[in-house]
Amino acid sequence: MERSIEYLQLLAKSFPSIAAASTEIINLEAILNLPKGTEHFVTDIHGEYDAFDYVLRSASGVIQQKIDAVFGDELSLEDKRSLSALISYPEAKLRAIKADNDDLDEWYKVTLMQMIAVLTRVSSRYTRSKVRKALPKDYAYIIEELMHETRGTFLSKHNYLQAIIDTIVSTGRASHFIIAIADVTRDLVIDQLHIIGDIYDRGPGAHRIMDMLCTYRDFDIQWGNHDVVWMGAASGSAACVANVIRNSLKYADMATLEDGYGINLLPLATFAMETYADDPCTLFTPVKTDETPVDDVPQIRLLSQMHKAIAIIQFKIEAAVIARHPEFHMEHRNLLDKMDLKKGTVICNGKEYQLLDTNFPTVDPADPFKLTSAEKNVIDRLVHSFTNSKALSRHMECLFAHGSLYLVHNNNLLYHGSVPLNEDGTFASMEIQGVEYKGRELFDTIEKLVRTAYFSTTDDALKEYGKDLFWYLWCGPVSPPFDKKSMATFERYFIADKTTHNEEKGNYYRLKNRREICEMILQEFGITEMEHAHIINGHIPVKAAKGESPIKADGRLLVIDGGFSKVYHQETGIAGYTLIYNSHGMRLVRHHPFESIQKSVAEGMDVIASTQIVEFSDKQILVRDTDKGKRLMARVEDLKALLQAYRTGLIRN
């Protein structure tokens, strides 16, 4: 009772009277009866900034749908697409409009009213208070006035509204208002954004994606293995640093390393040119895509040399991690000591294979995993560059602040890779510091340790263990974001026989299609009401071109990796998915490949390939039906208790 009174006294500081508490109850009850906000789920972005930017700007086609709902047949398809492009890319579209028109005044007047109509529609699911907070400060009063007057009193105040619009145009502020209205419309269309892992690697714009996300209004991230390897690199793990640089060189992604984070690659470049001066390093030529930023032969040659140099350094550093942690069971990854360079062979999985390359000038057959002094100097300087990058630190802190290995939200369980399973479908365990963990406890323990590794200011054993754990999460056999028996890095570079390249997936990927397995996992993470429960999952691209469905286990599992990355487009046949969950249910949007901002602006291009209903609700889902609603209802009960305390004199107002 004493603690309850203390809590009510604290609550009374925010609501110091019966009137204040009553007003807040009325406000919260009203919010509880609004439609739930729209959630967007995307995954495996892999540095594709332009495509991801378009998905957010177009709200995966939702803006086009709002325009259709407002105007129906009143506007032509061309005009509606033009308006959609204007809301998505206002600055670029305005430049194009101005270039094609001498007299813009009438266009401004018509367009401003159209945009206000769309914004009014979009904002109808929110309280006026929330909309007011979203409006740009300089124009908030005028925009709110226009929105209010178009909600039914337009005919009676035609002259009043027309005067506002005319004055906006005559004072030369029309473009500024259009941009402001477009920005707030986009902001309100997506209520919450979920990124289910793998922002980094392959594409050139991961740092730009992080810049965008770190200022985004409401988002969360479930870490993928490509994210955790960058997090490990930022924490000072040499094994993670080597993997990050190797991945970047593999796809010629220098922009993220150098332009985004200021990583100094000169020590590696100098070492590689000297060590592999006579080596063409053809096995390490960067993967070629339409956006590969380098074409000239000398630069590709240098990148190939650097690629080989860091790969050999990586294998040596990883061997030290594996030696420190026999419980990781990753000895199979050590192959430098299995080479016979005189014969030109290597023993892999007990079988001898011919090597594609036998030039290993830094590998001492007597001690193959020992770094040369030059290699040690290179990796030490690279680690220093990663741990001292302010831009990288800012983005990593954002990943930690808004991220986790998993999230339970609105009866959905979100994670990137898997929940590791045994062959019989029971939860697989992993030994961590002498203790076996599995299921949800494994996720929670891992997350605690990697957070310690990044944020701890002392170089103690726990921090060092956490740094090694980051690397394990990237490629370990019981790693939730990875979950494969092995990562065949050496084999793919040096062995022609493709049977050695196979990376056997964990049992989860075979068992995940069974409803009872998914329901077991949901219950493990605290979800017991199964009627509308889902696992939302990324990591393994869905081969839509071959007829594979992203909806599995009788609808319990939604695998929404559709291949944002260009290297997957041919394999998947599409360019990514967005899962949209609004007050009417869930639908899955498939994307065409994004070509360019210019084409989107000029043609009003719609990159939405198709929409598939996942789940439809006859009864509109309200805020009170969500996790946020549960918190608000608890708040209402507290305020009702405060009212009672005021009325009985237990607390005086």
Q: What's the total number of domains in the chain?
A: 3
pLDDT > 80? residue 604:
no
pLDDT of the residue at 652: 84
- Looking at the fold, whether 318 and 447 belong to one and the same domain comes out as yes
Q: Please name which of 233, 194, 216 lies closest in space to residue 414, comparing C-alpha atoms.
A: 194
Neighbours of 551 (CB within 10 A): 18
CA–CA dist 545, 208 (Å, integer): 30
pLDDT > 90? residue 150:
no
Q: Please name which of 196, 227, 203, 220 lies closest in space to residue 392, comparing C-alpha atoms.
A: 227
pLDDT of the residue at 570: 76
- Looking at the fold, whether 254 and 148 belong to one and the same domain comes out as no
Segment 82-115, tens digit of pLDDT? 999 999 999 999 999 998 887 899 999 999 999 9
Handedness of CA 630, 635, 640, 641 (dihedral sign): positive
pLDDT of the residue at 295: 65
Out of 430, 465, 489, a domain closes at: 489
Q: Are 335 and 315 in contact (CB under 8 A)?
A: yes
Segment 223-268, tens digit of pLDDT? 999 999 999 999 999 999 999 999 999 999 899 999 999 999 999 9
Side chain identity at residue 16, one-letter code: P
User: What is the pLDDT confidence band of residue 611, given thresholds at 50, 70 and 90?
Assistant: confident
| DSSP state at residue 27 | H
pLDDT > 70? residue 357:
yes
pLDDT of the residue at 573: 72
Segment 21-50 shows an average pLDDT of 95
User: What is the pLDDT confidence band of residue 526, given thresholds at 50, 70 and 90?
Assistant: very high
Segment 296-305, tens digit of pLDDT? 788 999 999 9
Is 503 part of any domain?
no
Is 478 part of any domain?
yes
- Looking at the fold, whether 253 and 144 belong to one and the same domain comes out as no
Q: Are 52 and 564 in contact (CB under 8 A)?
A: yes
Is 524 part of any domain?
no
| Burial letters 314-335, b for 16+ CB under 10 A, else e | bbbbbbebbeebeebebeebbb
CA–CA dist 385, 242 (Å, integer): 12
Side chain identity at residue 333, one-letter code: R
Segment 488-515, tens digit of pLDDT? 999 999 999 999 999 999 999 999 999 9
Which of 119-123, 570-574, 648-652 is predicted least confidently? 570-574
pLDDT of the residue at 568: 80
User: What is the pLDDT confidence band of residue 529, given thresholds at 50, 70 and 90?
Assistant: very high
Handedness of CA 355, 358, 362, 365 (dihedral sign): positive
- Looking at the fold, whether 137 and 247 belong to one and the same domain comes out as no
pLDDT > 90? residue 544:
no
User: Which uninterrupted H or E stretch holds 118?
Assistant: helix 105-123
Neighbours of 34 (CB within 10 A): 18
Segment 415-439 shows an average pLDDT of 97
- Looking at the fold, whether 19 and 115 belong to one and the same domain comes out as no
| Burial letters 124-148, b for 16+ CB under 10 A, else e | ebbeeeebeebbeeebbebbeebbe
Segment 568-576 shows an average pLDDT of 77
- Looking at the fold, whether 223 and 304 belong to one and the same domain comes out as yes
- Looking at the fold, whether 270 and 125 belong to one and the same domain comes out as no
User: What is the pLDDT confidence band of residue 23, given thresholds at 50, 70 and 90?
Assistant: very high
Residues of the domain holding 277: 206-489
The mean pLDDT of the chain is 93
Handedness of CA 42, 43, 46, 47 (dihedral sign): positive
Task: Tokens 């007990």: give the residue.
Answer: 350
- Read off the tokens for 510: 């075979």
Is 627 part of any domain?
no
- Looking at the fold, whether 348 and 477 belong to one and the same domain comes out as yes
CA–CA dist 472, 474 (Å, integer): 5
Is 289 part of any domain?
yes
Nearest-Å Rg of the Cα atoms of the chain is 28
Is 525 part of any domain?
no
Which of 199-203, 310-314, 589-593 is predicted least confidently? 589-593
Sequence-separated contacts (24+) of 588-594 with Cβ below 8 Å = 588/550, 588/551, 588/558, 588/560, 588/612, 588/614, 589/60, 589/61, 590/544, 590/562, 591/51, 591/55, 591/60, 591/562, 593/51, 593/566, 593/569, 594/48, 594/50, 594/51, 594/54
pLDDT of the residue at 554: 95
pLDDT > 90? residue 400:
yes
- Whole-prediction pTM: 0.94
- Looking at the fold, whether 53 and 22 belong to one and the same domain comes out as no
Is 510 part of any domain?
no
Q: Please name which of 19, 40, 91 lies closest in space to residue 578, comparing C-alpha atoms.
A: 40
pLDDT of the residue at 297: 81
pLDDT of the residue at 226: 97
- Looking at the fold, whether 130 and 148 belong to one and the same domain comes out as yes
For residue 495, the SS3 value is strand
- Looking at the fold, whether 100 and 232 belong to one and the same domain comes out as no
Q: Please name which of 613, 614, 314 lies closest in space to residue 493, comparing C-alpha atoms.
A: 314
CA–CA dist 284, 422 (Å, integer): 36
Q: Please name which of 51, 79, 459 lies closest in space to residue 237, comparing C-alpha atoms.
A: 459
- Read off the tokens for 452: 């310690």
Is 608 part of any domain?
yes
User: What number of helices (H) and strands (E) belong to the chain?
Assistant: 27, 17
Segment 578-597, tens digit of pLDDT? 999 999 999 999 888 887 78
Query: Which of the two residues, 331 and 101, has the higher pLDDT score?
Result: 331
**Separation in Å, CA 515 to CA 337, 421, 533, 574:** 45, 15, 11, 26
- Looking at the fold, whether 109 and 21 belong to one and the same domain comes out as no
**Which neighbouring-strand residues pair with 352?**
347
